[in-house]
Copies of this chain bind each other. A is one copy, B any other.
């Protein structure tokens, strides 16, 4: 009988698995809680009003529309029974109870969630950046802070409104802080009358001694210098002891009043890993064997950010899209190999390099011994991201938006909205009033 491959998660890993099984003699069901694949490396651009959500997201259904052996299901997986080889799931927005789905192969690719290191109350005040919903929340907070600063009379309150704190100086933190500084310095400057948006203060806080700790020293220094040129205040070796509605407290006791605090400091394996019943590492990742499967369960694979795969240098592979994609392709190959009665090969990762962008024409890039900073790195970054967007129909539009933004310092998506039917508690309660 045709084997049934169930893939949970429609990110880079899950999608690569499904696509690599296109010609395999299997049935594929891809399950995700959201209907879209997200090009996460550009999500910070949505959070900082440079791109619209649909520029970087595509319905999983339409990516797999022409793949006849693949079905897509909008549902949440709540349990895994490895013995009976079935998973328990709840269809989204369906009044019915959980249902069970049998599998022959299971591929878990559900990625990571934010980790506040035990301080879950910080989440409300310092949103992280993983989903479109979060990106839009961050965008709204940034834009509203400027709107309020324009009309507030009290100098202290205005200073807090114009203070933006980004916690964590990995690639996401660097990209976010650089983009916020750019918005304040150029994009919004002429839109406001009473407030000088250049008064905005952007703080990037990092516990480690350097920004972009995973990069070589020269690029760490370059990134810091480029951030400081943009006006970002970089504070390394600084820990956050508290986050509340008014701002943050550092472990030195210093208090920073800030209306907008963003979290880019930590992630852990997503919840589904904890339901597996296997020992996890400190970051909640699932240790996997040489072929990305679970010990004693060759039919269960874990890939991407959720997996802990020890690389040739003895360190776990980083949680980046290229690892997830290539693991997905490898897992598909294992399934095909099984069918042919041959032995599975081991997964190997070829590191093509890392990059982070800091703003308009600023970036760092590290690949095959090459270390670049500044405009050249930025051009490479733009080029490579456009190529990666190749599976996205919208890549031409994205390119046009970028070109426009580059020449005009404008940002296309500076909208604040909120769904009427799901108002937040701080929404002024009244009907819409506009022509």
CA A78 to CA B429, docked complex, whole Å: 11
Given contacts A110-B434, A111-B435, contact A137 B419 (CB under 8 A): yes
Which chain B positions have C-beta within 8 A of A191? Answer: 59, 61-62, 65, 72
For residue A66, CB closer than 8 A to chain B, the reply is: yes
User: How close is A147's CB to chain B, nearest CB, in angstroms?
Assistant: 4
Whether B305 and A435, one on each chain, are in contact in the complex, defined by CB atoms closer than 8 angstroms, is yes
Nearest to A161 among chain B residues (CB) is B94
Whether B412 and A393, one on each chain, are in contact in the complex, defined by CB atoms closer than 8 angstroms, is yes
Given contacts A417-B131, A422-B422, contact A434 B10 (CB under 8 A): yes
Which chain B positions have C-beta within 8 A of A73? Answer: 150-151
**Which segment, of A11-19, A162-170, A222-230, A367-375, faces chain B?**
A11-19
User: How close is A152's CB to chain B, nearest CB, in angstroms?
Assistant: 7
Given contacts A52-B53, A93-B426, A191-B61, contact A418 B109 (CB under 8 A): no
As a 0/1 sequence over residues 204 to 219 of chain A, the CB contacts with chain B under 8 angstroms (1 = contact) are 0000000000000000
In this complex, the member of A32, A94, A423, A433 whose beta carbon has the largest number of chain B beta carbons within 10 angstroms is A433
Whether B414 and A144, one on each chain, are in contact in the complex, defined by CB atoms closer than 8 angstroms, is no
Whether B134 and A421, one on each chain, are in contact in the complex, defined by CB atoms closer than 8 angstroms, is yes
Whether B190 and A33, one on each chain, are in contact in the complex, defined by CB atoms closer than 8 angstroms, is no
Which chain B positions have C-beta within 8 A of A92? Answer: 144, 147-148, 428
Whether A36 and B417, one on each chain, are in contact in the complex, defined by CB atoms closer than 8 angstroms, is yes
Given contacts A53-B415, A92-B144, contact A434 B35 (CB under 8 A): no
For residue A194, CB closer than 8 A to chain B, the reply is: yes
Whether B431 and A93, one on each chain, are in contact in the complex, defined by CB atoms closer than 8 angstroms, is no
Which chain B positions have C-beta within 8 A of A423? Answer: 422
Whether B144 and A74, one on each chain, are in contact in the complex, defined by CB atoms closer than 8 angstroms, is yes
Please tell me which one of the listed residues B93, B127, B404 contacts residue A421 in the complex, with CB atoms under 8 A apart.
Answer: B127
Given contacts A36-B417, A133-B419, contact A91 B148 (CB under 8 A): yes
Nearest to A419 among chain B residues (CB) is B133
Q: For window 301-329 of chain A, which residues contact chain B by CB distance below 8 Å?
A: 303-306, 324
Whether B420 and A133, one on each chain, are in contact in the complex, defined by CB atoms closer than 8 angstroms, is yes
Contact-residue bracket for chain A: 35 or more
For residue A124, CB closer than 8 A to chain B, the reply is: yes
For residue A385, CB closer than 8 A to chain B, the reply is: no
Which chain B positions have C-beta within 8 A of A13? Answer: 435
**Which segment, of A235-243, A346-354, A395-403, faces chain B?**
A395-403
User: How close is A38's CB to chain B, nearest CB, in angstroms?
Assistant: 7
User: How close is A94's CB to chain B, nearest CB, in angstroms?
Assistant: 6
Whether A35 and B435, one on each chain, are in contact in the complex, defined by CB atoms closer than 8 angstroms, is no
For residue A23, CB closer than 8 A to chain B, the reply is: no
Which chain B positions have C-beta within 8 A of A72? Answer: 191
Whether B143 and A35, one on each chain, are in contact in the complex, defined by CB atoms closer than 8 angstroms, is yes
Interface residue ranges, A against B (CB under 8 Å) = 8-14, 32-36, 38, 52-55, 57, 59, 61-62, 65-66, 71-78, 90-94, 96, 109-111, 113, 124, 127, 130-134, 136-137, 143-144, 147-148, 150-152, 190-194, 270-272, 303-306, 324, 393-394, 396-397, 400-401, 404, 410, 412-424, 426, 428, 430-435
Question: Can you give 21 A-B contacts (C-beta < 8 A)?
Answer: A13-B435, A33-B432, A35-B143, A36-B415, A52-B54, A53-B417, A71-B194, A74-B148, A91-B152, A93-B144, A94-B148, A111-B432, A111-B435, A132-B415, A133-B417, A270-B431, A271-B433, A272-B433, A305-B435, A397-B397, A422-B422
